[in-house]
Amino acid sequence: MSELITKSASELADLLADGQIKSVELTRAHLEQIQAVNPKVNAFLHVDADGALAAAADSDARRARGEVGSALDGIPIAIKDNFCTTGMPTTCGSRMLEGWVPPYDATAVQRLKEAGLVILGKTNMDEFAMGSSTETSAFGPSRNPWDLERVPGGSGGGSSAAVAACLTPLALGSDTGGSIRQPGAVTGTVGVKPTYGGVSRYGVVAMASSLDQPGPVTRTVLDSALLHEIIGGHDPMDSTSIAQSLPALADAAQRCDVRGLKVGVVKEFGGEGYEPDVEARFAEAVQWLQDGGAEVVEVSCPHFEYALAAYYLIMPAELSSNLARFDAVRYGLRLGDDGRNGMEAVTAITRGQGFGKEAKRRLIIGTYALSSGYHDQFYGSAQKVRTLVAGDFDRAFAQCDVLVSPTTPTVAFKLGERTGDPMAMYKADLCTIPSNLAGNASASFPIGLSAAGLPVGLQVIAPPMADDRCYQVGGFIEAKVESDTGPLLAKAAPIVGSKAVW
């Protein structure tokens, strides 16, 4: 195992800039780690070794000419398998798209290429991003590097497991209800859901368009900020992209100072259903903020209680409309096309076999919620709740600069533990969903381990386009964790720790 794989992207960028290493060497080290460890964690669905080595060689050649594309030129990255990538399959974890190679790159992917990053491959996910464990992937679940019998969260568990197991220093995720932050929390990695509209959705296969938001998955706060600065900013190809420049994120990540910051602890995120270890770690993190000079107050967001219910109407409604395009004609799988079946039969047979159980459950709920006569009763009511949730945030942000909560009520659960119980699975996103409904910035940072040695995350929530405040708090917390426990948790997760699983 090369020690390069445990370094953060910003450390590696310094080594590249100093001429101490080459991108090809760095890329090779990660490809070797993928070969050795991916069979255990199933984080990657597709590895593009040749493409990555060619991109790395290009980066080295560019650097030799004195032309550098960005701060992260030559650094490897993995991409969740719902981002369109030319030359690489994009399956969304579904049989429905098995083997489909998109004809264009998502804007975020295109920006990575322009910035000179080296794309290692595509990561596993719950089918079309529906789930909190990666267990709905048609290609088998990913496993949590901290304990291989446990889930790495979802839907972006592949990206988070890959980062936690040092298969890559950086990854991209997408967060519709928590799919970057919840996997981040349970794998001890940093996961950021930018402000809705802050990172382009163009070329990210849509789950629920009014909630989806791409973002970074990394081991350090600065790495997320650097990556966010590359993929973020206005994109004319996405009509919901915000035409405003991003705040200075990397500067905020390095400030390490929370003096004078007003921090609101959301009263509703705690109590029944929350593990005592999670609450204890959270209380400790709040104390760190207070000791660091932040002013901590309790705030109430009474409508958050209804956020999960509203989400499970709005999300399936949008999903049922977005997934209608998978009709056996336009993309991927086509079954039953034997010359006798008509088009409707071919579509029905293909959908029947191509979609998994969770996808079908949600498509049926969504179609029902939008059906004539029920539209106002279900979808309309949920949209009203969404407005109330956004109002709670407005009131809270009138008093506070940021809000904090545990990212998840529990640490990583065991594989299979919640597969037969959709409600238990959905509750993994209890704390993350309100920010998707309201569209504000939110992130998860590692704050320590439970008694059983499993990671716990702190969620930091900021107003729209104040993403820098998440990074400011994250950078402060990371420095605190490092000074208390060493860089183990923040920088290298389990691979070099005393709890190494291989």
Six token digits for residue 189: 């990695």
The least distance separating ligand GLN from the CB of residue 278, rounded to whole angstroms, comes to: 18
Helices (H) and strands (E) in the chain, counts: 17, 11
474 interacts with ligand GLN by CB under 6 A = no
The least distance separating ligand GLN from the CB of residue 311, rounded to whole angstroms, comes to: 7
Our CB check for ligand GLN shows the closer of 60 and 212 to be: 212
414 is catalytic: no
Give the Cα-Cα-Cα angle 24, 27, 28 (nearest 5 degrees).
85
153 interacts with ligand GLN by CB under 6 A = no
DSSP 127: G
DSSP 36-88: HHHHHH--EEEE-HHHHHHHHHHHHHHHHTT---STTTT-EEEEETTB--TTS
Q: Which of 155, 159, 320, 442 is catalytic?
A: 155
The least distance separating ligand GLN from the CB of residue 425, rounded to whole angstroms, comes to: 7
438 interacts with ligand GLN by CB under 6 A = no
Question: Is 43:167 a contact under the CB 8 Å cutoff?
Answer: yes
191 interacts with ligand GLN by CB under 6 A = no
Six token digits for residue 85: 């990538």
Our CB check for ligand GLN shows the closer of 132 and 320 to be: 132
Among 131, 157, 457, 474, binds ligand GLN (CB under 6 A): 131
Among 33, 94, 155, 189, binds ligand GLN (CB under 6 A): 155
Q: Which of 80, 122, 193, 491 is catalytic?
A: 80
From residue 458, alpha-carbon distances to 164, 189, 246, 469 in Å are 17, 11, 23, 14
Nearest partner of 96 among 367, 365, 343, 331, judged by Cα: 331
Of 9-17, 46-54, 173-181, 298-306, the window that binds ligand GLN (rule: CB under 6 A) is: 173-181
Among 223, 429, 467, 468, binds ligand GLN (CB under 6 A): 429
The least distance separating ligand GLN from the CB of residue 210, rounded to whole angstroms, comes to: 13
Among 147, 175, 223, 478, binds ligand GLN (CB under 6 A): 175
Interaxial angle between packed helices 381-399 and 307-322, expressed in degrees from 0 to 180 and rounded to the nearest 10? 120
Helix (H) or strand (E) holding 317: helix 307-322
132 interacts with ligand GLN by CB under 6 A = yes
Question: Is 146:454 a contact under the CB 8 Å cutoff?
Answer: yes
Helix (H) or strand (E) holding 215: strand 214-218
Our CB check for ligand GLN shows the closer of 37 and 186 to be: 186
**# binding residues, ligand GLN (CB under 6 A):** 14
Q: What is the distance between the alpha carbons of residues 336 and 49, in angstroms, rounded to a whole number?
A: 35
Our CB check for ligand GLN shows the closer of 214 and 232 to be: 214
Segments of 234-388 assigned E as strands? 262-266, 295-299
320 interacts with ligand GLN by CB under 6 A = no
Among 102, 177, 188, 332, binds ligand GLN (CB under 6 A): 177
155 is catalytic: yes
Q: What is the distance between the alpha carbons of residues 48 and 88, in angstroms, rounded to a whole number?
A: 8
Of 83-91, 176-184, 264-272, 482-490, the window that binds ligand GLN (rule: CB under 6 A) is: 176-184
Contacts to ligand GLN by CB under 6 A: 129-132, 154-155, 175-179, 207, 315, 429
Q: Any idea which residues carry the catalytic annotation?
A: 80, 155, 179
